[in-house]
Structure 1
């Protein structure tokens, strides 16, 4: 039998208040995009976690909008047109980060002028065996040997169609 620990109601309330306060603090810093919070708290904490897990967590956070808000609007001088496509700035996210097009909306809010997704293959595939992502701590970098793990063409295509329909709907509301 496991012994029960009895905690007074005041101590329990204080504990709940501290937890709630912590969530408010973290949420506010994420919402307002505190660079110092990311640099001093988030990034050092994430270095204790397997890099592939951190990558998945990053995609999920961006998917649900937990990304720093851009504090400034791109200067019109940065607007770029390439092959009849207009971009608010010329800085893009290369393929490989959001392999399955799961977090396009969140990554766009992060400030990228464009986002490249993939690599996408005709059928879903698991990619290389784990471990396949390695930290180079001294260089503040990672080596990515994922392979072409992805959900496959049909799943990603459906996600992109859904994203386009929702983004067009939101544009019409403005």
Structure 2
């Protein structure tokens, strides 16, 4: 792995830089006259979630400090279309899958389930009109694609004697 630019700056500054990629992406997309649907994908792909890694690290290193959580929250908006909601799910899950130390069928399946459950609990999909059936299709396809990307072998059951 190479140098991490976040090693030399505060967690608050890191969160600001990461969160700004949404605003900067929207500006860039508008400048290049990309279609509105693409601009919506960019604007909504983190919804109003928290840049959790930097929030947790900041909290751990400053346990006695009152932390303004808003500093670590993406400004939104929430995805308003099924397609934008799918982009949100796929983007987050694919990124998180890269940090899994062990990429097995079960670990990928659990990651997908947990991350989608979190988005539902945080009401990130509420404006998108995604159905449970849509979500199940997304889960199945994501699992299939991540298994292919990481060349995961499904463990075969051992025959009992």
* TM-score calculated relative to the size of structure 1: 0.28
More helix by share: 2
**Bigger RCO (CA 8 Å, 6+ sep):** 2
More strand by share: 1
Is the radius of gyration larger for structure 1 or structure 2?
1
